[in-house]
Amino acid sequence: MRLTTHGLIVKEQTVGEKDKLVTAVTADMGLIRAFVKGAKNIRSPKGAATQLLCYSQLVVYSGKNKDTFIIDEAKVVDMFSKLRRNVENMCLAQYFCELAMHICPHGQPVENQLKVILNGLYLLSENKRHPLLVKACVEMRLMCYAGYQPQLTMCSGCGCYESDNMYFIPREGILTCDKCISQEKLPYALLLGKGVTRALRHTIYAEESKLFSFNLPEESLILLNTATEQFMNYMLERDFQTLTFYKFMAGYSKTPPKVI
């Protein structure tokens, strides 16, 4: 069966001398794996349109193995060319790819997830938002779509909306005000100011069209990202190697990535 879809290429592997196997996030079928025959030929338009981080129109048909498709035709819609000129932003984009591969299901529509990632890539590519702002929004929105939505409407103890010192408890995904924080939760709580609390709420509750529309100074963005990363780490019970690499490359961490 031949199908036409649109997909963002999130992984590319060479197979033999001429072919490659790609993983794409598609709006209607979720993650798909697909062979691109003859992709290594430099004149192959299919090869160019199925490079990592290309968003392309794909004509695919089922292979012998039902889980894997064969790409018959591919045409670039957006290849985020400016993104490719900035090493740090490319590293962040590759983290989005790893995240998408972990979080997006196979065989189910992921229109919302794809939209968030594409919008994030566009903003990085055009340099329209701070990369840490884009990162926090993409992370938290993808977590929500995957069913990990923190409860940030009010303090989990007294129900107040705001206090000067609001704590975020990443391992529980809740907020607690300074009057309600218990001694046992304190060691793993993150103290957020009002601005970061609002921004964290925004990443969860803002309308899709306004998701990336806020501003924070860089030091607050760093705290916001600590909150989102710790939340993801507890919920997904894993690290992302591409994230370690991005933080090292962008100067947010002194920990060099492990070489495998």
Tell me the closest approach of the beta carbon of residue 70 to Zn ion, in angstroms: 57
Is 180 a binding residue for Zn ion by CB under 5 A? The answer is yes
Residue placing its CB nearer to Zn ion in the complex, 162 or 218: 162
Tell me the closest approach of the beta carbon of residue 51 to Zn ion, in angstroms: 50
Residues 31-90 that bind Zn ion (CB under 5 A): none
Is 177 a binding residue for Zn ion by CB under 5 A? The answer is yes
Is 191 a binding residue for Zn ion by CB under 5 A? The answer is no
Residue placing its CB nearer to Zn ion in the complex, 54 or 155: 155
Tell me the closest approach of the beta carbon of residue 49 to Zn ion, in angstroms: 53
Helix axes 131-145, 194-205, angle to 10 degrees: 50
Residue placing its CB nearer to Zn ion in the complex, 52 or 160: 160
Is 110 a binding residue for Zn ion by CB under 5 A? The answer is no
Is 186 a binding residue for Zn ion by CB under 5 A? The answer is no
Polymer length of the chain: 260
Residue placing its CB nearer to Zn ion in the complex, 103 or 177: 177
What span, in angstroms and rounded, lies between the C-alpha atoms of 152 and 173? 8
Which residue is listed with tokens 């591919």? 74
Residues 119-158 that bind Zn ion (CB under 5 A): 155, 157-158
Residue placing its CB nearer to Zn ion in the complex, 184 or 219: 184
What span, in angstroms and rounded, lies between the C-alpha atoms of 63 and 130? 42
**Residue 205 CA to chain centroid, in angstroms?**
17
Tell me the closest approach of the beta carbon of residue 240 to Zn ion, in angstroms: 33
Tell me the closest approach of the beta carbon of residue 231 to Zn ion, in angstroms: 20
Q: Which residues contact 146 (CB under 8 A, 6 or more apart)?
A: 103
Closest listed residue to residue 97, CA positions, set 77, 75, 117: 117
Tell me the closest approach of the beta carbon of residue 183 to Zn ion, in angstroms: 15
What span, in angstroms and rounded, lies between the C-alpha atoms of 167 and 185? 10
Answer for the pair 126, 119: CB distance below 8 angstroms, yes or no. no
Residue placing its CB nearer to Zn ion in the complex, 177 or 200: 177
Answer for the pair 45, 75: CB distance below 8 angstroms, yes or no. yes
What span, in angstroms and rounded, lies between the C-alpha atoms of 203 and 228? 10
What span, in angstroms and rounded, lies between the C-alpha atoms of 145 and 140? 9
Under rule CB under 5 A, how many of the chain's residues touch Zn ion? 5
Residue placing its CB nearer to Zn ion in the complex, 163 or 244: 163
**Residue 199 CA to chain centroid, in angstroms?**
17
Of 50-58, 173-181, 182-190, 240-248: span binding Zn ion (CB under 5 A): 173-181
Tell me the closest approach of the beta carbon of residue 55 to Zn ion, in angstroms: 44
What span, in angstroms and rounded, lies between the C-alpha atoms of 9 and 31? 10
Contact footprint for Zn ion (CB under 5 A): 155, 157-158, 177, 180
